[in-house]
């Protein structure tokens, strides 16, 4: 199944990013203030029928940070309904987002409230600081859907954020992945352009609201935390795995756990192909998918 195709392309993201980097080079940051990392900045799920969802930041975003936003929802809310897809992302600082990747982890044609159509948006550079507990990010769907789930990260590096490079993913509408009790993506040979890079794999499993489910981590990637988010129609089990990074869990008093992944892969050095991001599950016939990026 193909969603509406009038969204910004990766080429337009690259063109925008080049202009913003030129501005950054003309007004360089203080290197001591820029930690190289990918970090949680918030998540939200709304199980009601609607066309928008808004998260409030759980960590600050600094000027020159990139922002990656993953949006998910089953596209068909009822038999007679028109399908809904994430079409835009915005924030309270007025930053510009474009589509980085789409994947359809559903049957084709879609079945009612099963699996999810997923879109990853990316803002190459935040013009202004965005304060935790105050600033917001919103995603809009073109038609109402249930269980709108959004997760966001900042991407930070001396010299400005780079656009994440897709290293691999599971395919859309893949019935073999749906039926299996394991899921994996193998990283190709990759030479980061800059020091302190990392590979960043997003795992997502869509399940009925049924307890008693389990998973195990396999392969070469590391996972520091995971979360189960319950909607009105299904659960989202969301996990991040990294390769070439040190993961830190930060807990502020009274606040949520925040994961910060600091990369250590050197620029200009080949990372050989064959590193695997993999998980096994206690059930079959669940929609699921992996999206793996190189973050420089």
How do the pLDDT tens digits run along the chain, 296 residues long? 444 444 444 454 445 445 444 544 444 444 334 456 899 999 999 999 999 999 999 999 999 999 999 999 999 999 999 999 999 999 999 999 999 999 999 999 999 999 999 999 999 999 899 999 999 999 999 999 999 999 999 999 887 888 999 999 999 999 999 999 999 999 999 999 999 999 999 999 999 877 778 899 999 999 988 888 999 999 999 999 999 999 888 877 667 788 888 899 999 999 999 999 999 999 999 999 999 999 98
Q: Is 78 left (phi over 0), alpha (psi -120 to 50) or beta?
A: beta
For residue 229, the number of C-alpha atoms closer than 13 Å in the C-beta half-sphere is 21
Which structure tokens are listed for 161? 């954020």
CA angle 41, 42, 44 (to 5 degrees): 165
DSSP bridge pairs for 79: none
Helix (H/G/I), strand (E/B), else coil: 223? coil
**Spatial separation of the C-alpha atoms in residues 52 and 35, rounded to whole Å:** 32
pTM of the model: 0.87
Residues in the chain: 296
**Spatial separation of the C-alpha atoms in residues 186 and 183, rounded to whole Å:** 10
CA trace torsion 44, 164, 4, 52 (10° rounding): 20
């Amino acid at each position: 199944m193909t969603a509406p195709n009038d969204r910004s392309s990766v080429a337009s993201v690259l063109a925008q990013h080049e202009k913003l980097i030129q501005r950054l080079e003309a007004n360089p940051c203080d290197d001591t203030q820029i930690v190289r990392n990918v970090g949680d900045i918030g998540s939200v799920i709304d199980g009601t029928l609607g066309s928008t969802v808004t998260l409030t930041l759980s960590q600050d975003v600094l000027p020159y940070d990139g922002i990656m936003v993953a949006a998910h929802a089953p596209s068909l809310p009822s038999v007679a309904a028109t399908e809904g897809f994430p079409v835009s992302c915005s924030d309270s600082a007025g930053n510009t987002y474009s589509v980085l990747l789409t994947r359809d982890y559903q049957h084709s044609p879609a079945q009612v409230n099963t699996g999810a159509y997923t879109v990853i948006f990316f803002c190459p550079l935040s013009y202004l600081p965005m304060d935790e507990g105050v600033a917001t990010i919103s995603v809009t769907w073109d038609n109402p859907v249930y269980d709108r789930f959004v997760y966001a990260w900042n991407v930070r590096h001396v010299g400005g954020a780079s656009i994440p490079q897709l290293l691999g993913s599971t395919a859309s509408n893949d019935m073999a992945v749906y039926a299996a009790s394991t899921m994996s993506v193998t990283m190709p040979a990759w030479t980061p352009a800059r020091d302190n890079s990392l590979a960043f794999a997003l795992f997502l499993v869509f399940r009925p609201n049924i307890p008693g489910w389990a998973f195990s981590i396999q392969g070469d990637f590391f996972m520091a935390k995971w979360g189960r988010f319950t909607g009105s129609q299904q659960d989202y089990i969301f996990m991040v795995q990294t390769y070439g990074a040190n993961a830190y869990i930060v807990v502020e008093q009274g606040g949520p756990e925040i994961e910060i992944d600091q990369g250590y892969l050197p620029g200009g050095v080949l990372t050989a192909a064959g590193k695997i991001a993999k998980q096994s599950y206690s059930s079959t016939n669940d929609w699921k998918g992996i999206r793996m990026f190189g973050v420089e």
